[in-house]
Amino acid sequence: MKKLFWVVTIALAWIYGSGFMSLGPRGAMNYLDEWEQLSLNGDADGICEMMHEDLEFSIDDRTTPGRPLDMEGGKEDLCDYYAQVVPAMKLVVSGMNVRRDDVEVSRDWLHPWTAEVSYTEQRSVTMAGIQMKVHTVGEDRVTLVKTLTDGVKIKALHAKTRMTHAGDT
């Protein structure tokens, strides 16, 4: 009986501890930074691998004048979109600076391997060739889940982004 108690205690400590390390504020921001790096490298496949099979997303993007983007769907839809956009971004973007403010990470003790992450994202993108800088602000909500076999995955993404300013560099 005593052995069972210690096995259960250690198992629970591992479940909650590993969830905290992977899905706490630092782990969540590291995961999102990895996503940014894959975007800068033009690696759409790498981004797609970060998504859970049951991903649900919605995007309300007003960063391109005259070309609003309203999209929602599942993993296949978002992977197809990133396959088109991310490689082109690598050619157009010469630099990017991302800052996340008002970061909130919430976790429920009943779901230790799930985190709800929300933040305001300030982004400055320098466009190659035309020497233009675009500033955007976004309100994002991301659900991260830790899986037994694949590590942390993005289960839900809801992004609302607007351009705040564009001008010469």
Question: What does the pLDDT read at residue 21?
Answer: 58
Mean pLDDT value of segment 114-120: 94
Mean pLDDT value of segment 92-118: 86
Domains of the chain by start residue, with CATH: 2-168 (3.10.450.50)
On average, the pLDDT of the chain sits at: 85
Question: What does the pLDDT read at residue 20?
Answer: 58
| pLDDT exceeds 80 at position 129 | no
| pLDDT exceeds 80 at position 86 | yes
| pLDDT exceeds 60 at position 168 | yes
Give the N- to C-terminal CA distance of the chain in Å, as an integer. 69
pLDDT confidence tier of residue 149, bands split at 50, 70 and 90: confident
Mean pLDDT value of segment 14-33: 73
Question: What does the pLDDT read at residue 24?
Answer: 81
Mean pLDDT value of segment 134-151: 91
| pLDDT exceeds 80 at position 60 | yes
